[in-house]
Amino acid sequence: MIKKLTFLTLSLLCLFSMSFAQETSKRQAVYAELGGAAVLGSINYDFRFKPGNDGLGARVGFGYVPDVLVLPLELNGLVGKNKVAFEYGAGISVAYFTENHNTGNQTFRSGDSRIGIIYHGKAGIRITPANNGFFFNFNCTPLVNTEETRLWFGLGLGYSWH
């Protein structure tokens, strides 16, 4: 399991770094998300793999739940070439528990491990400007781990550019 997690994390980080080496016409966004894949909230960087407002992309973020650092990693896609698009995706949120105790938030982990994983999906709407400017998304984000499934939602606000 740790090998798969390490492989997925390194793969997404490689994709993330490749986006900076590519031409700048690919859509990128930085946004704060309330709720969503990091449970309470996160700061995220999102990018498309090809030029334009639609198609496949990825996101990496950083969130915090009391005593837990959360790293959401996701592959996502947009359907719609206009400002308003359907957004879909799936990924994992890796959590690191800063305190080694068995009380508090148990959403991500099982047992005494300091590392935990939760799987998430995404389906919703994204509004991006034609050029550069304000970014908005609202998604249904189901959270799944070995013990439970939660229907969750995320609201993102930020800035998008080419």
pLDDT tens string for the chain (162 positions)?
555 555 555 565 555 555 554 455 899 999 999 999 999 999 999 999 999 888 999 999 999 888 889 999 999 999 998 899 999 999 999 999 887 655 444 555 555 678 889 999 999 999 999 889 999 999 999 999 878 899 999 999 999 998
pLDDT attached to residue 11? 61
pLDDT attached to residue 142? 96
pTM of the model: 0.80
Helix (H) or strand (E) run with residue 33 in it: strand 26-35
User: What are the b/e assignments for 82-109, b being 16+ CB within 10 Å?
Assistant: eeebebbbebbbbbebeeeeeeeeebbb
Domain boundaries, the chain: 2-161
Is the separation of the CB atoms in 21 and 47 below 8 Å?
no
**Paired residues of 110 in beta bridges:** none
Best CA proximity match to 152, nearest among 160, 136, 161, 141: 141
d(CA 88, CA 78): 7
d(CA 131, CA 116): 38
Task: State which CATH number among 3.40.190.10, 1.10.1660.10, 2.40.160.20, 3.40.50.720 fits the domain covering 2-161.
Answer: 2.40.160.20
**Paired residues of 63 in beta bridges:** 42, 70
